[in-house]
Amino acid sequence: MPLLILLVIGLLFVGQKWFSSPSVQPLPYSAFKAALRQGQIQKIQIGKARIRGTHLIPGEQAPDRLPDDAGLKRPGRFVTIRVDDPGLVHELEALQVPYTGQREGGWFTTLLGWLLPVILMVGLWSLMARRMGGAARGLTNFGKSRARIYAEQETGVSFADVAGVDEAKAELLEIIDFLRQPQKYTALGGRIPKGVLLVGPPGTGKTLLARAVAGEACVPFFSLSGSDFVEMFVGVGAARVRDLFKQAQDRAPAIVFIDELDAVGKARGINPMQPNDEREQTLNQLLAEMDGFDPRKGVIVLAATNRPEILDPALLRAGRFDRQVVVDRPDLQGRLHILQLHAKAIRLTSEIDLNAIAARTPGMVGSDLANVINEAALLAARYGKAAVTMDELDEAIDRILAGPQKKSRVMAPKEKQRVAYHEAGHALVAEMLPTADPVRKVTIIPHGVAALGYTQQLPAQDRYLYTQEELLDRITVLLGGRAAEALIFQDISTGAQDDLQKASDLARRMVTALGMSEQLGPYTIEHEPQSMFLPHRTRAPQTYSEATAQAIDREAQGIVEHMARRAHRLLEASQGTLETLAQYLLVHEVIDQSTLALLLAGLCGHGHIPSDLVVRRFNAAPIT
């Protein structure tokens, strides 16, 4: 592209030199005759209407020129209007001045002189457009909508292709009925909703649901992302919004789907130090269009976002997005249905128990479960198997939760021994506490980027609430690995860094946000702005005194220290069991749930641990 620009500049420069002529001095005919008699005319061209030629004119005196050189003359061009002078030719011959005739150019020559540069520029622009593809053509189509339009048979998705979100499907079935027979509702004076907002975590199937609505309703489907509206030029986004709604109303009944609505619908005035006129103009135009179009034409706006808390309140009021449909993480039955849906295209062995896989994947969304099935199929193909077995499904879950195995990462024997005791400490403390989640798997095989081993706990059922005792037990389990290292090696390592971070964050949240503090009481101190569906949160500015901040630090630190001592006491009372689990890990590297139960049952029979541990519960050391 830089070479092409340089070529265009060079051609323009050559064209300017080619088509432009040097400066020409106009002379009256009488001055021309006088110069001819004085011998100042060098040569001329005699045309039908004009006489052109060169003559000698006095030169300018330069600062470094001698006074005697001031009279030197230099040639110059001139033009004069020809008059009827029959003796001119004889006079030229007498003075021996060379002369020629000149053919005057007609209208075609003049027209060509104007058209040739224009043709050259158009040709260069066409060449650049072909080289740039659609980018150059897009320069003239800024205001056109970038929505991808699917005809009713092109979406290829129906509600049969969506699983695990039955409540959301039921809500959207009414929207389909609106589009199929709007007169059923308008005859009673009802008003069809203008907009439906799908909210939920990433990967739960919001976009898939929108396409399924279009496929079931058999109407045109306009699909685009919120970022498609916004450009660097102010006013482009508003023009695209107008064009989008015009196209939708021309093809009504239709569905307009805007994915990632928060890219264009963020609340105005949140950050006055960074105004964005283009985004706000686009949002204003979207609000105006949703107010302006006639709902009786059957145009419904579907939008999806995972950050509804930052949307502008004007978007969420009645008359715009009348309904909000939550597409949440699937429960146990929802995960089972999603797994069954994706497993239809995979060859599975008869031993596969999708119920067990659904129970092992709490918190996973539809995209995660689809990835589990796909990873299992890839692993089975890598191992040369004819069908997918439970081993590949188990490994696929581990890859998604902890990352791929790093068997090539060789640890020193001392490090491997420390990791084994660390993970055995997590597992043993989890099995000894009354409310901790059951241990599903313990391994000292490195996974992912930095995990040298991990202990996987899975709840017996989906959880939505946690008690104070359960949170304290969770902190104790997190600190069990560090306590095992301190007990066995009388020293600690950097392997507990992530555990300490999680335990500290949970203890601080108990004090500041959950009101689980004896000193500060049932009072929320920090109002952390957090997303409804995204896991990360940002720390809010401090709005309390330094004395309160010190009390928070003391209380949170006290919880962590108390649970660390508790974990140490539990492991100290069952040090023989800890030794046995660690030695088993050093030999086999992995302990699954059934093996762990057998190990604990055998140790119970030999009196190493209380008999209640056989059923994974016994009275742990008191919390107080």
Q: What pLDDT does residue 477 have?
A: 95
pLDDT in tens, 23-69: 678 888 888 888 888 888 888 888 878 888 888 876 544 444 434 44
Please choose, from the candidates 367, 302, 360, the residue with its C-alpha nearest in 3D space to the C-alpha of residue 164. 367
Q: What does the alpha-carbon distance between residue 565 and residue 104 come to, in Å, rounded to a whole number?
A: 109
**Confidence (pLDDT) at 244:** 84
Torsion of CA 436, 439, 445, 446, to 10 degrees: -30
Residue 107: pLDDT band by 50, 70, 90 thresholds?
low
Question: What is the predicted pLDDT for the residue at 468?
Answer: 92
Q: 148-269+276-326 has which CATH code?
A: 3.40.50.300
Q: Is position 423 annotated as part of the catalytic site?
A: yes
pLDDT of residue 337: 92
269-273, 342-346, 573-577, range with the lowest pLDDT: 269-273
**Assigned token pair, 486:** 């301190």
d(CA 70, CA 205) in angstroms, rounded, equals 91
pLDDT at residue 4 is higher than 80: no
- The highest-level CATH class for domain 2-60+70-104 is alpha beta
- Choosing from 423, 431, 485, 555, the catalytic residue is 423
C-alpha distances out from residue 345 to 264, 309, 383, 538, Å? 38, 38, 19, 42
pLDDT confidence of residue 294: 63
> Can you give the pLDDT at residue 114?
63
Q: What angle do CA 131, 132, 135 make, to 5 degrees?
A: 160
When pLDDT is cut at 50, 70 and 90, the band that residue 613 belongs to is very low
Architecture of domain 413-615: Up-down Bundle (1.20)
At residue 39, the pLDDT reads 84
Confidence of residue 387 (pLDDT cuts 50, 70, 90): very high
Q: For residues 470 and 438, is the Cβ–Cβ distance under 8 A? A: no
**pLDDT band of 264, cuts 50, 70, 90:** confident
Residues 503 and 479: beta-carbon distance below 8 Å = yes
**With contact defined as beta carbons under 8 Å apart, do 610 and 604 qualify?**
yes
The SS3 assignment for 31 reads helix
CA distance 446 to 620: 31
Question: What is the per-residue pLDDT for 380?
Answer: 92
pLDDT at site 111: 61
Q: What is the rounded distance in angstroms from the CA atom of residue 371 to the CA atom of residue 40?
A: 94
Q: Are 439 and 447 in contact (CB under 8 A)?
A: no
258 phi/psi in degrees, rounded to 5? -115, 110
Q: Given this model, what pLDDT does residue 540 score?
A: 60
Q: What is the pLDDT of residue 187?
A: 80
**Type of residue at 507:** A
Domain edges within the chain: 2-60+70-104, 108-138, 148-269+276-326, 332-402, 413-615
Q: Which residue's structure tokens are 């962590």?
A: 560
- pLDDT at 177 (0 to 100): 82
Read off the pLDDT of each residue in 593-603 and give the average, rounded to a whole number: 82
454: phi then psi, degrees, rounded to nearest 5: -160, 155
pTM for this model (two decimals): 0.69
Work out the average pLDDT over 193-206: 88
Level-2 CATH architecture, domain 332-402: Orthogonal Bundle (1.10)
pLDDT category, 533, cuts 50, 70, 90?
A: low
Of 26-35, 50-59, 191-200, 333-342, where does mean pLDDT reach its minimum?
A: 50-59
Predicted local confidence at residue 231, as pLDDT: 63
Q: Which of 60-74, 100-114, 433-447, 539-553 has the highest mean pLDDT?
A: 433-447
Mean pLDDT of the chain: 79
> Which residue's entry shows tokens 């119920």?
355
